[in-house]
């Protein structure tokens, strides 16, 4: 008889059935398996899976309850890392995909475990790396972004991931709809910014694979101070690469800067040694060969888009479908702070 994890009450994992699936689809995997929810992140649920030999892998599944179709499409995410695994972009190995919902109540996929810290706060950077190593991390991160945007989607089998043209128009339409369907209260700034983004929309120059949430907190950093794997591809699509540039600049806190909106602890780049924001932008322009322009527009767009995403997460928490408790008041204030930041920038575009 197959041994199973003795904790069948684990939310998000049907231990007996997932155990059977893992044994049948991962060569060499041996029960019992220990499943541990990785607490970081507020969207798809991610578990570390350790088998009887001590070998680890990672299982990803949608959140419990209603989900946004493309953002929680496990087959799509598995396809992306499978394709990018053949490029210069570092991603975890794709090990298997289960689309049979009778196994675990929802599709899931399994990827290889990549060792190394995920840098979320300043203290993480200071604990794991020296100032000289932090500079190398900055250079590696921006190189990976340039490498991602250099990938030919058609050549790696991602040409059908989404439409290549009219990225901004599609994104504004999508997140406006998402805001309307998930908002927990009225927020005038969100509509004001949406109108301004439509009015000042720049022309898209070229198309690329766009990560959608590219930051240090979504990467595993290797002990060699280089990016070992980029994670969380759930918002990836085809479109304007400048969207990723605007996003990372928003996330890139410099030493001495206050945490964004005074709502969170300083990010990893606030530790001494990391490149400054303008150096990151110049490095991307040099490495990618792309002309960096209208970056403030993309920063406003990303603040607004993130506010819509965060509101959707807040709505799911309030419905009790995310599998854990959260500071919903803090999340609500963060949405408002993001919307206000977007509004401040779009006013400079007038």
Question: What pLDDT digit, counting tens, does each position of 55-80 carry?
Answer: 999 999 998 864 544 456 899 999 99
Radius of gyration of the chain measured on its C-alpha atoms: 20
Weakly modelled stretches of the chain, pLDDT under 70: 1-9, 40-42, 65-72, 259-264, 321-326
Report residue 251 as tokens: 């996330």
Q: Residue 260: what pLDDT?
A: 59
**CA-closest candidate to residue 144, choices 86, 208, 88, 70:** 88
Q: What is the pTM of this model?
A: 0.88
Q: Residue 67: what pLDDT?
A: 52
Q: Structural domains in the chain?
A: 15-112 (3.30.200.20), 122-349 (3.90.1200.10)
Question: What pLDDT digit, counting tens, does each position of 211-262 carry?
Answer: 999 999 999 999 999 999 999 999 999 999 999 999 999 999 998 887 654 4
In this structure, is the dihedral angle defined by the CA atoms of residues 82, 86, 87 and 88, taken in order, positive or negative? positive
Q: Residue 257: what pLDDT?
A: 83
Q: Residue 79: what pLDDT?
A: 97
Q: Residue 10: what pLDDT?
A: 79
Specify whether the CB–CB gap between 37 and 7 falls below 8 A. no
């Amino acid at each position: 008889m197959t041994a199973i994890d003795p904790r069948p009450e684990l939310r998000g994992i049907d231990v007996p059935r997932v155990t059977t699936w893992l044994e049948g689809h991962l060569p060499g995997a041996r029960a019992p398996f220990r499943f541990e929810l990785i607490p970081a992140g507020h969207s798809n649920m991610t578990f570390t899976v350790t088998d009887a030999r001590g070998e680890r892998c990672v299982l990803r599944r949608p959140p419990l309850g209603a989900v946004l179709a493309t953002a929680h499409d496990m087959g799509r995410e598995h396809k992306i890392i499978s394709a990018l695994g053949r490029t210069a972009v570092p991603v975890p190995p794709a090990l298997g995909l289960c689309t049979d919902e009778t196994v675990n109540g929802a599709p899931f996929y399994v990827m290889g475990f990549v060792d190394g810290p995920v840098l979320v706060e300043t203290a993480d950077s200071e604990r794991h790396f020296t100032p000289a190593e932090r500079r190398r991390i900055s250079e590696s991160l921006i190189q990976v972004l340039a490498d991602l945007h250099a990938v030919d989607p058609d050549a790696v089998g991602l040409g059908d991931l989404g439409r290549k043209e009219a990225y901004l128009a599609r994104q504004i339409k999508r997140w406006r709809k998402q805001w309307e369907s998930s908002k927990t209260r009225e927020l005038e700034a969100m509509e004001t910014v949406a109108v301004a983004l439509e009015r000042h929309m720049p022309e898209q120059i070229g198309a690329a694979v766009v990560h959608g949430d590219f930051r240090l907190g979504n990467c595993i950093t290797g002990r060699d101070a280089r990016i070992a794997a980029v994670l969380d591809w759930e918002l990836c699509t085809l479109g304007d690469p400048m969207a990723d540039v605007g996003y990372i600049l928003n996330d890139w806190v410099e030493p001495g800067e206050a945490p964004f909106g005074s709502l969170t602890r300083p990010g990893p780049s606030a530790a001494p040694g990391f490149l400054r924001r303008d150096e990151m932008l110049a490095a991307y322009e040099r490495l990618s060969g792309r002309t960096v322009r209208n970056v403030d527009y993309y920063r406003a767009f990303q603040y607004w888009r993130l506010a819509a995403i965060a509101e959707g997460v807040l709505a799911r928490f309030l419905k009790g479908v995310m599998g854990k408790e959260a500071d919903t008041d803090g999340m609500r204030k963060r949405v408002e702070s993001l919307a206000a930041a977007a509004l401040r920038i779009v006013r400079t575009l007038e």
